[in-house]
Amino acid sequence: MKANVDRIVAEIEQQHHGWERLFHEIKLTAANYELPCKVAKLQVNRLRNRYRDVSPYDHSRVKLLDGPSDYINSSLVEVETAGRQYILSQGPLPSTAGHLWQMVWEQNSKAVIMLNKVIEKGARKCHQYWPLEMEMPMTFAEDGYEIELISEDNMANFIVRTLKLSRLDSSEEDRIIYQFHYIAWPDFGVPESPNAFLEFLTCVRSKKVLENDVGPPVIHCSAGIGRSGTFALVDTCLVFLEKNIPFDIKDTLLEMRKYRMGLIQTAQQLRFSYLAIAECARRLMDDKDGHFTSSSVSDSESDDSEDGSQKSDGEHQENGDGVSEEKPENNRDSESKDNRKRHAEKDAEATEEKRGKQEETTLPVTETVETVPKEHNNNVSDLRRRQRQEKTEATFKKIEEIKSNMQSNEKRPSWRPYIIGGLIAGVVVGLAVRYWFR
Known binding site for substrate: residues? 187, 221-227, 265
Considering the candidates 126, 203, 221, 280, report the single residue annotated as catalytic. Answer: 221
Beta bridge mates, 163: 149, 177
How would DSSP label each residue in 340-367? HHHHHHHHHHHHHHHHHHHHHH---SSS
Known binding site: residues? 187, 221-227, 265
Q: Is 203 a catalytic residue?
A: no
Coil/strand/helix, residue 11: helix
Question: pLDDT value at position 168?
Answer: 95
Question: pLDDT value at position 52?
Answer: 95
Instruction: Determine the CATH number of domain 2-372.
Output: 3.90.190.10
**Residues 235, 236, 240, 242, CA torsion sign:** positive
Helix axes 18-31, 249-256, angle to 10 degrees: 40
How would DSSP label each residue in 146-170? EEEEEEEEE-SSEEEEEEEEEETT-
Closest CA to 365 of 31, 48, 97, 21: 48
Which residues, given as ranges, of the chain have pLDDT below 50? 296-337, 339-377, 380, 410
Q: In what order do the strands lie in the sheet with 61-63?
A: 61-63, 71-79, 84-89, 218-220, 111-114, 175-182, 158-167, 145-154, 138-140
Spell out the domain ranges in the chain.
Answer: 2-372, 380-436
What's this model's pTM, rounded to 2 decimal places?
0.69
**Residues 225, 228, 230, 232, CA torsion sign:** negative
Task: Evaluate whether 166 touches 148 at the Cβ level (below 8 Å).
Answer: yes
- Euclidean distance between CA atoms 292 and 146, whole angstroms: 36
- Euclidean distance between CA atoms 167 and 371, whole angstroms: 37
Task: Evaluate whether 122 touches 372 at the Cβ level (below 8 Å).
Answer: yes
Question: pLDDT value at position 428?
Answer: 73
Identify the H or E element spanning 218: strand 218-220
Helix axes 330-361, 2-14, angle to 10 degrees: 80
